[in-house]
Amino acid sequence: MHRIASSVQYLEKNLMPAVERKGGKASPDLAVFKECADLLKWAVLLYDRLESQTRINAHLQLDLTILRERLLLAEAELTKYQTVEDLLLTDSYKHIEKGVRARIESDFKAKKS
């Protein structure tokens, strides 16, 4: 990266002024060096954007890993609560069954009498 930037500076500060003095502003060599300098500037810009995207991607990968771990913890917690709920419902059903059984027995005894 530093080499590209220093090459652009060399072209713009040293080489292009010398070519312009020799051949004028309409010199084909000057046009080539200007185009070369512009292309190198674009290369620096693209490299910077690539570095930025690489950093963003690394952060997103880290976030993804953390979120996956949190999901596993949340699923384990949910399983725990579902188990407790099932146990409570089973106990509740036993009480309902006792109540219904008692009601049926009392109705049956009432009909017998």
Q: Which two tokens stand for residue 60?
A: 């997103």
Q: Based on DSSP, count helices (H) and strands (E) in the chain, helices before strands.
A: 3, 0
* pTM of the predicted structure, to 2 decimals: 0.56
How many residues comprise the chain? Answer: 113
The tens-digit pLDDT sequence of the chain (113 residues) is 788 889 889 988 999 899 888 888 888 998 999 999 999 999 999 999 999 999 999 999 999 999 999 999 999 999 999 988 888 888 777 878 888 888 888 888 887 76
Q: Which two tokens stand for residue 41?
A: 């500037």
CA–CA gap between residue 110 and residue 105 (Å, rounded): 8
